[in-house]
Structure 1
Amino acid sequence: MVVKGGEVASKTLDALIQRAEALAFVTVDNALAGVAGLKNPNPSHKREVFETAGSLELIDGYRFELGWIYVDDGFRNKGYSRQLVAALLPKANNMGVYATSLIDNEPMHRSLAREGFVKVGKSWPSKRKGKFLALFLKDRAG
């Protein structure tokens, strides 16, 4: 399901999952509706995200990356992405968390904003042709 979201390569996903701090799942009537992870990001990936967003000076305040958030098509617009985000944030133990989202993914932006994330920096090209990403930050106390 995470690979279906299009922002992670299947060949690296297993190793990344092993490094994750926590995973969250939403099921509806015994069907997997959505997934998300609180990631321990690779330092070079983290640096690339903050640098590309023009926010490198903020990097030290953010320990975890919230990612792999994907809600299957038939379950969208029901608040499940917010449930996933809310379920994972306590696992960060009041440490700063960052996330990236496609700039045209308004439902995800609303879910992040409701949980205290703020969009910062500039957008940059995604791996998906013609798409752009944005950086969102949630402070420790925020």
Structure 2
Amino acid sequence: MEKIVKGPDDCNDAELKSFEKLVTEGGEVALAGLRQRIQRAEKLVFINDGECVAVGAIKNPNAGYKARVFEKSGAPEPDKYEYELGWLYVSKVARGRGYGRALMESINDSLSGRACFATTRADNASMHHLFSRFGFSKLGQPYQSENGSYSLVLYAKP
């Protein structure tokens, strides 16, 4: 297993396409402007095992989006959190092999103690477990996603 963490500007076009493909496969993000949002990220994480099998990012969320997430969840102090963890996805064929944990380890190391938040589906028990294991706590209440008929839960790590 190879873990790669780098800024979007340091990625070649094939890497960006691979990242975007897996994020799209996850099916839970707005596709309009996705490439531009990926290119605004702080860091992109790739887990390769012969091919790219998992991705994740430390995102630079815009202030309006961050304010909406915290308002919808009823959580206080969005300004405490500089970064957002996002686009965490392990391909369906690669699940159950520790790649999610490897993603979180790489992201956690790259954060170097800086505060961040993340959202996940209310029914995604695997992500709830990983967030808890890596020191994230639930904030506020579940709220309705803008991208589908499911609820999201806000997590944060100071």
Whole-Å separation in 1 of the counterparts to 2:35 and 2:115 = 25
Of residues 71-80 and 40-49 in structure 1, the stretch that sits farther from structure 2 once superposed is 71-80
Q: What letter is aligned with 1:39? A: K
Distance 1:48 1:7 in 2: 17
Segments of 4+ in structure 1 off by > 3 A?
none
**Does 2:34 match 1:13?**
yes
> Within 5 A, what are the aligned runs for 1:26-41?
26-28=47-49, 30-41=50-61
Aligned residue number for residue 137 of structure 1: 156
Question: Aligned partners of 1:113, 1:78: CA distance in 2, in Å?
Answer: 19
* Length, aligned pairs only: 136
Deviation at 1:93? 3.3
Residue of structure 2 equivalent to 1:70:
89
Give, in whole Å, the separation in 2 of the partners of 1:58 and 1:102.
22
Deviation for aligned residue 1:27? 1.4
Task: Give, in whole Å, the separation in 2 of the partners of 1:65 and 1:50.
Answer: 12
Please give the TM-score of this superposition, normalised by the length of structure 1.
0.90
The amino acid across from 1:48 in the alignment is R
Residue 109 of structure 1: CA displacement?
Answer: 0.9
- Decide which of 128, 138, 142 is 2:148's aligned counterpart: 128
For 2:101 and 2:69, the matched residues in 1 are separated by 23
Alpha-carbon offset, residue 13 of structure 1:
1.0
Q: 1:82, 1:112 within 8 Å by CA — same for their partners in 2?
A: no
What SS is found at the alignment partner of 2:61?
coil
Could you tell me how far 1:11 is from its partner in structure 2? 2.2
Which of 104, 119, 125 is 1:106 aligned to?
Answer: 125
Amino acid at match of 2:32: K
Counterparts of residues 44-123 of structure 1 (less than 5 Å)? 44-55=64-75, 57-123=76-142
When normalised by structure 2's length, the TM-score is 0.81
